[in-house]
Structure 1
Amino acid sequence: MRLRRTAVTALLTAGILVPAVSTAAVAFAKPPAPGASHATAKPKAGAKPKATPKPTKTTKAQKPVRFTASGTVTAVDAEAGTVTLLAKGGSKDVHKRTVTVTVPAQASIRVNGKKATVAVLAAGFKIEVTGRRTGTVYTVEVLRANGKKVTAKPSPSVTPSPSTSPTTEPGDEPTDEPTDEPTDEPSTEPTVEPSSDPSV
C-alpha cells in the first residue's frame, strides 16, 4: 500500500510540475510586449531577427475630375497661361471661390464669339470654363468669355488760367464782388437800403 501511495504522489507531482515548467518555457520564448525594453530579453542562438515593418502604402495618382465654373475674371497672366476668376456658379469644388485655372495652348478659347488667346482676356470679363481638376490644379479644356477690354485713356491735364494777382494794400474804393474772407470789423451801416414796400 505504501508503494501505491508513493507512486500516486509521484504521478500527481509530475502532472502538476510538468505543465508549470512547460508554461514557463513558452512564456520565456515569446517576444517581449510592445513598450517593454529589449535589454532584458536575449535572443536565442539561431533565432530569426525581427522583420522590418511593412512600408506604408504609396498614394495613387489622383484621377482627374471634371469641373465647371462661371463668374468674373479678376486677373490674367498671359505668359503663364493662367486666369484667375471669382466663380459665382459651377461645380461645388469651385462655387463661390476665387480659382486660378491653367489654360493650355490646345484649349478651345472663344472671346465674344471669336477664336482668341488668353492675352485677349482682361479683368471684368464674364467667363465660363470647363475642364479637369487633378488635386488642386484646374486645367481648362473649353473657355468662353464676353467683355470689352478697357484701355486707359489719358486724362486731360488741367492748365491753370491766368488770374489777377491779389492786392496787398487796402483800396479806398468799395468792390462790387463779394469776398471769400470775412472782414475783421463789423459795419454799422445796413447793406440794403430800406424800402417802403413791406414785402421786401
Structure 2
Amino acid sequence: MKIALIDYGAGNVQSVLFALERLGYQATVTDDPNTIKKADKVIFPGVGEASSAMQMIHNKKLDTIIPALTQPVLGICLGMQLLCSSSEEGNAKGLGIFDIQIKRFSNQLKVPQMGWNTITNLKTELFKGINEEEYMYLVHSYYAPVNTYCIATTNYGINYATAIQKDNFYGVQFHPEKSGKAGEQILFNFLTI
C-alpha cells in the first residue's frame, strides 16, 4: 500500500511517520502532486497557524490537488481545519471540502485546549474498536462546531466536532499519533478503510 504523508511545511510529519512505522507501515513524506495522487491513502497533518499554512499549501499548488483526491484522506488537527471552508484564525480561506467555519474558543476557556480529553458519539468505521469516552490528545485554540459531517464530539466548555467525514475525506482534531494505543487503532482503521 502506498501512503502519502503531505509535507507542506506546517505538519507534525515525523510523529505521524513514527506512529505508522509502529503499525508496520511505510509512508512517503512528500509535497509532490503526482506522488500524492498515486497514493492509496493520504494523510494531511498540520500544526501551526491557519492562514500561513494555507499560504504554504497555495505556494506548493496543493490547494487544487487535495480537494480533487478520490482515495481516503485523513486530515489531522490543523489539517482537519484546513479541509473546511474557512477559519477565524487569520481569517483563512480553507480548502472548502467541508462547509464548516472554524471558530475560536471563547475567552472564558483556557486556550489552547492542551492535553487529554474524551471523544463521544463515535460513528463510522474510523472508530472501530474504540470505546465511547476514549481519551485522545488535543492541542488547539480553534474548533469545528457540531455539524452534519460530525462523526465524534468532544466537550470543552461546549460540545464541538472532534472528527468529521464526507465521502473519502476524514478529519480528526485530536492527534492519533500522540494518543497511545487507541490513537494507533484509529490510524490502523483509516489505513484499512
Is this a same-fold pair by TM over 0.5?
no
| Larger RCO, structures 1/2 (Cα 8 Å, 6+ apart) | 2
Give the TM-score normalised by the residue count of structure 2. Answer: 0.22
Give the TM-score normalised by the residue count of structure 1. Answer: 0.21
Choose between structure 1 and 2: higher helix proportion.
Answer: 2
